């Protein structure tokens, strides 16, 4: 297990899935071996996705131009990041949806 570090307060925890990334929350404190996190909500900004014929139903050619707006929620919880976890700490929240999976 990675030990929480006070210098990480104010940073964000993101979860890397197979090819998607979900923001978990903003680190607001440390409680023993856990991070105290304020959850984040992500909403996709209106950006027209461009599709071409291909794959099962189509291929999104501009999926790397996704833009998301993040808002801190009211939910606060404790999270432990394990060594084999797909969670990581970053300076900003990150969200990516893979339309071409």
Residue 20 per-residue DSSP state: -
Using one digit for the tens of pLDDT, what is the confidence trace for 21-62?
Answer: 999 999 999 999 999 999 999 998 867 888 888 767 788 888
CB 37 within 8 A of CB 9: no
What is the distance between the alpha carbons of residues 34 and 29, in angstroms, rounded to a whole number? 9
**Phi/psi of residue 26, nearest 5 degrees:** -95, 135
For the chain, the structural domain boundaries read 6-90
* pTM recorded for the entire structure: 0.83
The string of pLDDT tens digits covering residues 63-84 is: 888 889 999 999 999 999 988 8
Contact 94, 86 (CB under 8 A): no
């Amino acid at each position: 297990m990675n030990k929480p570090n006070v210098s990480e307060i104010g940073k964000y925890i993101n979860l890397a899935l197979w090819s998607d990334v979900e923001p978990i929350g903003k680190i607001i404190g440390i409680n023993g071996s856990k991070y105290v996190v304020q959850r984040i909500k992500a909403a996709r900004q209106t950006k027209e996705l461009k599709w071409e014929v291909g794959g099962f139903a189509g291929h999104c050619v501009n999926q790397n131009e996704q833009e998301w707006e993040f808002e801190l929620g009211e939910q606060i919880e404790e999270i432990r990041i394990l060594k084999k976890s797909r969670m990581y700490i970053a300076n900003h929240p990150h969200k990516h949806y893979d339309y071409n999976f």
